[in-house]
Amino acid sequence: MALLELLQYPDPRLAQVCAPVDVITDEIKMLVANMADTMYEAPGVGLAAPQVGSFIRLFIMDATFKDEPPNLQVFINPQLELLGELVPSLQEGCLSVPHNYRADLKRYEAVKIRALNLEGQEFELELDDFAAVIVQHEYDHLDGKLFIDHISRLRRSLFDSKVKKCLKRQG
């Protein structure tokens, strides 16, 4: 098992727009295995490659509940279609956002996602509920966006002040 270091906000690398994957190499397969170890250990329900310092368009997700068998899904070069309305969603958190900060966001009700799996085969899924929220969150990471980019300016400035204060204290 290999755990990867998670980049933490305000690391500017989290704001990078990621590049498409050209070829699914053994290195990428190893990256996915290590990302899965890191996500399950955290624990998390999703993880995007840029969060572990690989700036490529790839994320993983496991939207199953605790009592269900795990179901790791890998999305390479995903293309996202947002469906339905923007609706109040569940509280989001992020493994790259410190202080276990969580916020209520609005997200689209459903998504259609087309991507490649680890074997390079194209697949398409229509997702709603929790899975649709996770996919929107992870897809944002590939475009250099964090969920805190969607909160109000007041909440964001309060959060940024807290982060700055803590970083100053740590020296």
Catalytically active residues, by annotation: 138
d(C-alpha 38, C-alpha 123), whole Å: 25
| Partner whose footprint covers residue 38, from ligand K1U, Zn ion, none (CB < 5 to 8 Å by kind) | none
Comparison of 98 and 112: residue with beta carbon closer to ligand K1U: 98
Among 4, 24, 28, 94, binds Zn ion (CB under 5 A): 94
If one counts every other C-beta atom within 10 angstroms of the C-beta of residue 43, the result is 10
Give burial (CB, 10 Å; 0-12/13-18/19+) of 34. Answer: middle
| Partner whose footprint covers residue 92, from Zn ion, ligand K1U, none (CB < 5 to 8 Å by kind) | ligand K1U
Whether 81 and 113 have beta carbons less than 8 Å apart is answered as yes
Q: Using CB under 6 A as the criterion, which residues of the chain lie in contact with ligand K1U when the complex forms?
A: 43-48, 92-96, 133-134, 137-138
Comparison of 81 and 104: residue with beta carbon closer to ligand K1U: 104
Strand-pairing partners, residue 80, are 113
| Partner whose footprint covers residue 14, from ligand K1U, Zn ion, none (CB < 5 to 8 Å by kind) | none
User: Which stretch, 17-25, 94-102, 109-117, 153-161, contacts Zn ion (CB under 5 A)?
Assistant: 94-102
CB of 158 to ligand K1U, least distance (A): 20
User: Which stretch, 13-21, 67-75, 86-94, 150-158, contacts Zn ion (CB under 5 A)?
Assistant: 86-94
Give which of 42, 45, 51 is closest to 7, Cα–Cα: 51
Whether 140 and 147 have beta carbons less than 8 Å apart is answered as yes
Does the protein bind Zn ion through residue 105 (CB under 5 A)?
A: no
Residues 6 or more apart whose CB falls under 8 angstroms from that of 67 comprise none
User: Which stretch, 26-34, 66-74, 93-101, 158-166, contacts Zn ion (CB under 5 A)?
Assistant: 93-101
Three-class secondary structure of residue 128 per DSSP:
strand
Interacting residue ranges for Zn ion, rule: CB under 5 A: 94
